[in-house]
Structure 1
Amino acid sequence: MTSPRLRPSLAALLIAAACVSLAHAAEPTAAAPVTATQSARHAITHEAVWLMKRVGAPVASPDGKWAVFAVVDSAYDSKEQWSDLWIKSLTDDSAPRRLTFSKGGESAVAWSPDSRQLVFVAKRDGDEAGQIYRLDVVAGGEAQRLTSLTMGARMPKWRPDGKQLLFTSDIYPGNKTEADVKQSAKERKERKYSARSYETTAPRHFDKWLTDKQVRLFIVDAQADATPRDMLSGTQLVTLPGFGGGNGDEGQSLDAIWTPDGKAIVFNAATNRDAAQRAATYSQLYLVPAAGGEAQRLTQDQRSYGSLKFSGDGKTLFALSDAETPGKVYDVKRLASFAWPMVSPAPVILTDKLDRSISRFVLPDGGKRVIFSYEHAGLEKLYSMDVKGGEVREEPSLATGSISSLSSGGKALVGVWESSINPPEIYAFNGKQPERLTNFNTEKAATIDWQAPEHFWFKTADGRQIHNMIVKPANFDPAKKYPLFTVIHGGAASMWRDQFVLRWNYHLLAQPGYIVLLTDYKGSTGYGEEFARSIQFDPLKGPADEINQGVDEAIKKYPFIDGGKLAAGGASYGGHLANWLQATTTRYKAIVSHAGEMDLIMQWGTSDGGFGREVNAGGPAWSGLPVWRDQSPIMQAGNHDKGTGFKTPILITVGELDYRVPANNALMNFAVQQRLNVPAKLLVFPDENHWIMKGENSRFFYSEVQGWLAKYLN
């Protein structure tokens, strides 16, 4: 619901900025966080974590003068939660100002080429789906709705001359007009039956059953009441049974951008999505004329491309690319480029010699370098290279923490930086010491008694270097002994990062008086392609051995750890490994398993993705390969009689809407614990998916975890 209050004009913002109060003027802009005296600091609470303002990714204006970003005012009751757009000058020290006053929130923000207007996606009064709205930042006033489509609109992009918008939406099979879409939606709503029908993979994704909706690209004039035009209707491309985009929370997506002259659209699409259960799917690049016509395939390989961007001079197309190497479980994302207009379908892989996966990249106007970030050893920092390739150069970043977004406009470069003790804030990265531009959470963070993680490494028997972090509780006293809770990350293709998190907040887990150990076992990202691939044919045993060694190394290194009081837990792949530890060792006093698999074959058949699991095992479930049985936790149940596993009390939690690791795994887990008379507790969240993301559910989850650990560790 929108407020009748008018959005301030840019002139009004400038006047207001000149009248900033002394309190605002005194806010620090240096990178160091605000500090508080030790006596004023308190142990972290769930309320402190949950109610931190959530600062979203900034979008820099093309002229480099402004950044717009979303800020969520969180609440335990979702009805009380607000999300609005804020604007911050990049040319002076004025405080950021709120641009919108709507409870529903805005997403997919895009600046007009002249830096005077914004478009974004929002669901406001009368909207049954998210629509595109335009806000005149200079003149002020209410945002104006530009689309009214039955299936909504997503990811708007301005044409270079600012006259039209490109966006994605959906249709139903056979639809040619918006009237057709509306009629199809009406018919489905009025059906007397509720059955779903499928003939190809996959029936569901993450926490949603998929429907027969089909993704499309649309163009619309950048004004109210204009009629959008489906750019792919009638093309041969969309008739292919495997046509589609990447799955996301709002449906399938096609990464699409205008060509520099505004006469065509470049986008990525898959054409073998129907084969996802038996082959890797890959997204190739296509070109469709803005005037209409058949889509032309630009690339002729089996790589995947995304994050498309043109250089400022329009002569180079950049993308992130996955090699999709046959028979391998992981490829690092590499920066690729094509001369434009495209003279060769083969990309130039600019970061071919860099054994790290590029998270994001930007192309500052007039710059001769591309700036990007990648993970390494718990951190994510800035790097750059010449736009034509060459040596990678480290750019000024903060010494700790992680960069989680980047945007450039003109010569300005802004992004979000955070660490485990510094919740996200907007920073300017201008080739020197990063400068904090916002202070939404700094004062609150300064009142919490927490310490930055401590890093250490150890070497495995096969020579692998393993990175770890430990987190200490409030009021830490090195003379005391503390139980150790080793927390295992999901993925496995992810990494423990020095960042502020909601779902398994390191300091909240440590708060009762535990040392938290975070080990990047083999299979983790941030250490190169081979490291991430090394779990192939060894999905659980090898990683678990390294987690156990990490515990041993931490006990040897830190005399304040009580080696007789150990616990372990994790979620998703971390839940898989928690189940494996419970099945194969009795060294831990308590286990916590969220969204953890019990049987590799069941997970292959019921999860929303199966082919990658088959590649990881080396063959299909019926191949007779021993890994399918030997590394399924349920198949280790005989360890109970041997005294080597299935003895440790276990807390099992699951979201009923989780289709990534379906709830049947948790039910099987609980059943075997009951069969073997092992102390166990099962928590089922009917309204949660792969993550526990609702406020009161999260608070209850943490209380149950802490209660379980206290029962068996203290």
Structure 2
Amino acid sequence: MNVTETKRKVEINDLYKLSTAYDAQLSPDGKSAVYVVRKINEETAQYVSNLYVVDLETKEERQWTFGEHLHQTPTFSPDGAMLAFVSNRTKTNQIYLLPVNGGEAKQLTFFHKGASNPIWSPDGNMLLCSAGVKSGETIHTKEEQNEKKELQPLVVDRLIYKADGRGFIKDTYSQIALIHIDSGESVQLTQGDHSYAASCWSPDGTAVVYSANLSDDPDAVFTSDLYVYNIDSKETVNLTTGQGSFGRASWSPDGSYLAFLGSQEENQTVTTTKIWLYDFSAQKMHCITQEWDVDVEDVGVGDLHSWRRNPGLIWTADSEGFYFLMSDQGNVGVYHGTVEGELTPVLFENLHVYDLSVHSNGQQAVVGISTPTLPGELYTLNLTSGDREQITHLHDTFLDDVVLAGAESFTIKASDGWDLQCWLMKPAGYEEGEKYPLILEIHGGPHMMYGNTFVHEFQTLTASGYGVLYINPRGSKGYGQVFADAVRGDYGGKDYQDLMDAVDYVIREYDFVDEMRLGVTGGSYGGFMTNWIVGQTDRFKAAVTQRSISNWISFYGVSDIGYFFTEREIKSDLYDNIEALWKHSPLRLADKVNTPLLILHGELDYRCPIEQGEQLFNALKRKGKETRFIRFPEATHDLSRSGDPKLRLDRLTYIRDWFHQYV
């Protein structure tokens, strides 16, 4: 009997069996690594994350934190004796210290709006952190303990006053605080009605680097500068002087350079992220990847690794180079760069490296790796030989139990000759000579990238008997600046044709695809495109649009990014060319829709507000079209990746059942 015949198919509830190991940090002596494991408690249907440590020699693993809370962002002190981490065990996120050799965790911060992003000083005596501070208050302001919370009007003076996942900002800004470890004394380093993000310390511990948009009109100017703040003199120097948007800075150990990520926003929303160096002796900055047409960041799309952080640029002790993540052609891998601009691949295969920690010796690293058939595990990586060894085994039982669909990657020619990368997954239980329905999946962004990573949603569809086609149409990142920029001003144009070209190709080249049983779905931009597709063609038997855009005119005024995203992406606004906004709006095509359309939307989605789904539903119903509207309570734009676990399962069930009914 074939081994796969003894395995079961993936189920929607298997989401409970999928964990994420991430935020790995090598100890200063390189002998161990701490990391976070986030999972869902099936009994409570709530997320839980705890810290684990693994001895890299013996592979012995120990759990360091316990309970039903979220423990995250672990950071070793320079001597390796203490671990700082963030926990919500007191309801708000606060920073705690844990002795590595044993003992209870001690709460270090008590800010009433919480603390995050701990960064150790070089001598281990202080920590930088971020803290939410309301305008006119400080980190030391105590929360008012009113027995009854009175309703208060929200006074709005700015265009940007809400954010998806955060709600109404209410004049609260991210400030930087300095914590003295021994005394617990805290000092607020930044003030005012601006938000600041701490990046790093100078090697001698006398200064810190942070990024901020300190323009007079941050609603209109979107640059972000890097500043060096001297701890003693309190003097600040702007290193980048309004030249673009920069962050994730890292100071070389010898103090000569500051390496950072960013761009001069030549292509606004779409400009590829590059590596920059500031030379302190010459007092000049320059881009060392100017001619390298790739994104120096992880732009991969999935539904399992949304907790990951950008590791930035990780220097080696000799200050001659650094390691970083890079996205290209559907893959995310590890590269090494030097101050002279030499760029060398270290780990770049058909996979998704979603996590990276490098020891200062430049010889060893810990990476998180996922593929279409691997949910994600941590590995040690020899940076010289490329050898790697698995150190977590979160999914061994799951992988032994289920049969997963692989993803075949191929490249086709679009109608106008552009290269398009696609992936095709066969349905579970596939038999040669049989015909199967096909679902076209469309990613959001649109400036993101499908790739060689695990997607639970895709596996549930293949387990339900569908083939799955996914593609990176023009507008996607990972294929260079021109490709990513091509969608701007052309939403629903050649990007739509790219998707149809891919569908035509697989129907022509793969005998198992039943061209009479096609479905389509996608979220955000993918939801926009799903709406657009069913207004253009009747070739799909069913469609599911998720957290979508249907009307660019109203989106302009209701989304948390509406006005500037619309102006940059559609290249029009409400005044100069409102006709263009309507031209690109799927709502305009509602009377042409003959495909049964399921509309999924979160009630608290501020990115693509739920009124976008409401308008489309009302228009379709008024025209007598086959449609249904599912509203997810308290769900933000990120429902499919980090939303309420039960609602995530409900969402997948609705998608599957809709396709079962009509495809």
Give me the TM-score of the superposition, normalised by structure 2.
Answer: 0.92
Q: Secondary structure at the match of 1:484?
A: strand
Within-5 A mapping of 1:239-388:
243-245=194-196, 254-272=197-215, 274-276=217-219, 279-291=220-232, 293-325=234-266, 328-340=268-280, 343-344=282-283, 346-359=284-297, 360-366=312-318, 368-388=320-340
Unaligned runs of 5+ in 2: 298-311
The 1:219–1:486 alpha-carbon spacing in structure 2 relative to 1, beyond 3 Å, is: same
Contact 1:201 1:275 in 2 (8 A): no
Contact 1:330 1:532 in 2 (8 A): yes
Letter of the aligned partner of 1:217 in structure 2? I
**CA displacement at 1:280 relative to structure 2:** 4.3
The 1:571–1:177 alpha-carbon spacing in structure 2 relative to 1, beyond 3 Å, is: closer
CA RMSD of aligned residues (A): 2.0
Is the aligned partner of 1:401 residue 2:314?
no
Partner Cα separation in structure 1 for residue 467 and residue 216 of structure 2: 45
**CA displacement at 1:379 relative to structure 2:** 1.6
Is the aligned partner of 1:706 residue 2:659?
no
Letter of the aligned partner of 2:113 in structure 1? M
Within-5 A mapping of 1:636-655:
636-637=589-590, 640=591, 645-655=592-602
Partner Cα separation in structure 2 for residue 166 and residue 686 of structure 1: 36
Contact 1:456 1:469 in 2 (8 A): yes
Within-5 A mapping of 1:171-186:
171-176=133-138, 178=140, 181-182=141-142, 185-186=143-144
Contact 1:401 1:418 in 2 (8 A): yes
Q: Which residue of 2 aligns with 1:9?
A: none
Letter of the aligned partner of 2:29 in structure 1? D
Q: Deviations over 1:269-304 (max 9, x none)?
A: 11138442xx34111011222125243322223211
Give the one of 629, 632, 648 matched to 1:685. 632
**CA displacement at 1:79 relative to structure 2:** 6.1
Q: Secondary structure at the match of 1:114?
A: coil
The 1:420–1:78 alpha-carbon spacing in structure 2 relative to 1, beyond 3 Å, is: farther
Q: Secondary structure at the match of 1:370?
A: strand
The 1:323–1:683 alpha-carbon spacing in structure 2 relative to 1, beyond 3 Å, is: same
Partner Cα separation in structure 1 for residue 580 and residue 494 of structure 2: 12
Q: Secondary structure at the match of 1:255?
A: strand
**CA displacement at 1:187 relative to structure 2:** 8.0
Q: Deviations over 1:646-675 (max 9, x none)?
A: 110000010001000000011011111101
The 1:227–1:329 alpha-carbon spacing in structure 2 relative to 1, beyond 3 Å, is: closer
Give the one of 157, 160, 171 matched to 1:212. 171
The 1:164–1:405 alpha-carbon spacing in structure 2 relative to 1, beyond 3 Å, is: same
The 1:68–1:273 alpha-carbon spacing in structure 2 relative to 1, beyond 3 Å, is: farther
Contact 1:450 1:472 in 2 (8 A): no
**CA displacement at 1:386 relative to structure 2:** 2.3
Letter of the aligned partner of 1:336 in structure 2? W
The 1:176–1:576 alpha-carbon spacing in structure 2 relative to 1, beyond 3 Å, is: closer
Within-5 A mapping of 1:473-622:
473-502=427-456, 505-609=457-561, 610-622=563-575
Partner Cα separation in structure 1 for residue 255 and residue 29 of structure 2: 17
Partner Cα separation in structure 1 for residue 133 and residue 146 of structure 2: 13
Is the aligned partner of 1:133 residue 2:96?
yes
Stretch of structure 1 that moved more, 539-548 or 597-606: 539-548
Partner Cα separation in structure 1 for residue 382 and residue 144 of structure 2: 52
Q: Deviations over 1:122-165 (max 9, x none)?
A: 122xx342221111102x01111112222221111111011111
Q: Deviations over 1:522-548 (max 9, x none)?
A: 100110011110011102232111111
The 1:364–1:49 alpha-carbon spacing in structure 2 relative to 1, beyond 3 Å, is: farther
Partner Cα separation in structure 2 for residue 630 and residue 80 of structure 1: 43
Q: Which residue of 1 aligns with 2:157?
A: 199
Partner Cα separation in structure 1 for residue 522 and residue 231 of structure 2: 48
Stretch of structure 1 that moved more, 201-210 or 373-382: 373-382
Partner Cα separation in structure 1 for residue 139 and residue 564 of structure 2: 36
Contact 1:357 1:375 in 2 (8 A): yes
Q: Secondary structure at the match of 1:662?
A: coil
Q: Secondary structure at the match of 1:58?
A: strand
Within-5 A mapping of 1:28-177:
37-78=3-44, 81-90=47-56, 92-124=57-89, 127-138=90-101, 140-176=102-138
**CA displacement at 1:604 relative to structure 2:** 1.4
Q: Secondary structure at the match of 2:124?
A: coil
Stretch of structure 1 that moved more, 662-671 or 302-311: 302-311
**CA displacement at 1:478 relative to structure 2:** 2.7
Contact 2:12 2:653 in 1 (8 A): no
Letter of the aligned partner of 1:395 in structure 2? V
Letter of the aligned partner of 1:442 in structure 2? D
Q: Which residue of 2 aligns with 1:8?
A: none
Contact 1:128 1:150 in 2 (8 A): no
* Percentage of pairs with the same residue: 25
Q: Deviations over 1:463-504 (max 9, x none)?
A: 2111100111211113111111101000101011221235xx
Stretch of structure 1 that moved more, 295-304 or 152-161: 295-304
Contact 1:167 1:218 in 2 (8 A): yes
**CA displacement at 1:451 relative to structure 2:** 3.0
Letter of the aligned partner of 2:585 in structure 1? S
Is the aligned partner of 1:697 residue 2:661?
no
Give the one of 382, 393, 396 matched to 1:439. 393
Partner Cα separation in structure 1 for residue 470 and residue 432 of structure 2: 19
The 1:193–1:697 alpha-carbon spacing in structure 2 relative to 1, beyond 3 Å, is: closer
Greater strand fraction, Structure 1 or Structure 2 = 2
Unaligned runs of 5+ in 1: 1-35, 246-253
Contact 2:426 2:467 in 1 (8 A): yes
Partner Cα separation in structure 2 for residue 683 and residue 131 of structure 1: 36
Letter of the aligned partner of 1:329 in structure 2? T
The 1:151–1:329 alpha-carbon spacing in structure 2 relative to 1, beyond 3 Å, is: closer
Contact 1:280 1:611 in 2 (8 A): no
Stretch of structure 1 that moved more, 359-368 or 439-448: 359-368
Q: Deviations over 1:197-217 (max 9, x none)?
A: 110121210131111123221
Letter of the aligned partner of 2:452 in structure 1? D
Partner Cα separation in structure 1 for residue 381 and residue 9 of structure 2: 32
Q: Deviations over 1:352-409 (max 9, x none)?
A: 111001014322334743222222222212222323213x322244x43200111112
Partner Cα separation in structure 1 for residue 49 and residue 522 of structure 2: 30
The 1:44–1:311 alpha-carbon spacing in structure 2 relative to 1, beyond 3 Å, is: same
Contact 2:128 2:198 in 1 (8 A): no
The 1:698–1:80 alpha-carbon spacing in structure 2 relative to 1, beyond 3 Å, is: closer
**CA displacement at 1:264 relative to structure 2:** 1.2
Contact 1:541 1:631 in 2 (8 A): no
Letter of the aligned partner of 2:95 in structure 1? I
The 1:421–1:273 alpha-carbon spacing in structure 2 relative to 1, beyond 3 Å, is: farther
**CA displacement at 1:64 relative to structure 2:** 1.9
Contact 2:224 2:242 in 1 (8 A): no
Give me the TM-score of the superposition, normalised by structure 1.
Answer: 0.86
